[in-house]
Amino acid sequence: MGKPCLILLGGAGWDARRRAASVALTAAAFGHPVSIALSGEPLRAWVEGRFDDGCPVGEEAALVGSLRRMVEDGRRDLGVEVVACGTELRLAGIDPEAARPHLDALRSLPDQWRTAGQGHVLSF
């Protein structure tokens, strides 16, 4: 098994979500345990079902599919986790209990950091 990979996704744009999803699936496919920790706009977009919003024109020509579906496939097939901490949820205006069905775990930032351990931490 590869080293853990913690991906901190807080960038508001579609391209940040695309890069985070692509890196998460690539790392997971190579055997790394991956957690995507959402904050800010990406967290709101995930919980509200808007994770694909903002896709630029020409996305089909670049052969980029639904980001939501990519992450969901990674969750199902590769063990990718989508997590958030309670503080980030409250800062995003989301009730933590309402967000639970959309997340694999509510995990504090110190717990996220410990999970990453000696692995990789990437921020988008």
pLDDT in tens, 1-36: 899 999 999 998 999 999 999 999 999 999 999 999
Each residue's pLDDT tens digit, 80-98: 999 999 999 999 999 999 9
Strands 120-123 and 105-106: unpaired
Q: Give the Cβ contact number of residue 104 at 10 Å.
A: 15
pTM score, two decimals? 0.93
Tokens of 99: 């967000």
Angle between helices 40-47 and 14-29 (to 10 degrees): 80
Q: Which CATH class is domain 5-123?
A: alpha beta
Give me the residue spans of the domains in the chain: 5-123
Half-sphere exposure of 81 (CA within 13 A, CB side): 19
Q: Which pLDDT tens digit goes with each residue over 43-82?
A: 999 999 999 998 887 655 566 788 999 999 999 999 999 9
Confidence of residue 111 (pLDDT cuts 50, 70, 90): very high
